[in-house]
A and B are shown apart, each in its own frame.
Chain A
Amino acid sequence: SQQGEEDPQALSIQEGENATMNCSYKTSINNLQWYRQNSGRGLVHLILIRSNEREKHSGRLRVTLDTSKKSSSLLITASRAADTASYFCATVKPPYFGNEKLTFGTGTRLTIIP
């Protein structure tokens, strides 16, 4: 079963704009990760945020985590055509703390219009 849901399911923006994707989950977690997948290929890890962290940055990526609302957001700034992909959040629930059993959401399909 899917733990989380991404919102929106699909998003189209102009190149250069910022893209925001949201992830909601149901139970308490130890960490939350974001992955990117290009058109049916393998997933690429983007960023990991632990349950005691509220915000992390990596290049053009900014992730926030609100454990009280059981939600996370991924912001991609200054989007590029190469950012076109599906984005998934994945949670790790207790008793696991690393990557022993990731539970993925349903994904957001992001399209960047040149």
Chain B
Amino acid sequence: ETGVTQSPTHLIKTRGQQVTLRCSSQSGHNTVSWYQQALGQGPQFIFQYYREEENGRGNFPPRFSGLQFPNYSSELNVNALELDDSALYLCASSPSGGGSGELFFGEGSRLTVL
């Protein structure tokens, strides 16, 4: 177990709604990354936060936004949900601004959009 916790574990939303997913990073880690994993696919990078600043963003529209708090926990917000947003959302933390290489993943939040 990595010490990265995510909530909620499962949720169901309808198209057009908004969702907030939460992540607590492992103790001592100041970097949080978010990934989207569609069924049967590999994870895709959404963005990374380092010391409360966005430190890189993948190819996702602006309705995907995030925050990192002073305690290094993080939120992922998705507005105007679409059916294709149904996926496992994975949060990962690491102890520095990317230099260590290894990511420590949580168990994910499974979002279903109806």
Interface residues of chain A, those whose CB is within 8 Å of chain B, are 1-2, 31, 33, 35, 40-45, 48, 88, 90, 92, 96-107
- Nearest chain A CB to B95 CB, angstrom units: 10
On chain B, the residues within 8 Å of A104 by CB distance are 35, 42-44
Q: How far is the CA of A100 from the CA of B94 in the complex (A)?
A: 10
Known: A97-B98, A99-B101. A106 touches B42 (CB 8 A): yes
Nearest 3 pairs between A and B by C-beta? A104-B42, A98-B98, A100-B98
Residue total for B at the interface (Cβ-Cβ under 8 A):
33
Known: A88-B43, A105-B42. A98 touches B2 (CB 8 A): no
With A42-B107, A99-B103 given, name 19 new contacts (CB 8 A): A2-B41, A31-B101, A33-B103, A40-B88, A42-B4, A42-B90, A45-B102, A45-B103, A96-B56, A96-B98, A98-B98, A98-B101, A99-B31, A99-B100, A100-B97, A102-B103, A104-B35, A104-B44, A107-B42
- Nearest chain B CB to A42 CB, angstrom units: 4
Interface residues of chain B, those whose CB is within 8 Å of chain A, are 2, 4, 31, 33, 35, 41-45, 48, 55-56, 58-59, 88, 90, 92, 94, 96-108, 110
What are 22 A-B pairs with beta-carbon distances under 8 A? A33-B101, A35-B105, A40-B108, A40-B110, A41-B108, A43-B43, A43-B92, A44-B2, A45-B103, A97-B99, A99-B94, A99-B100, A99-B101, A100-B55, A100-B56, A100-B97, A101-B45, A101-B56, A102-B43, A104-B35, A104-B42, A107-B41
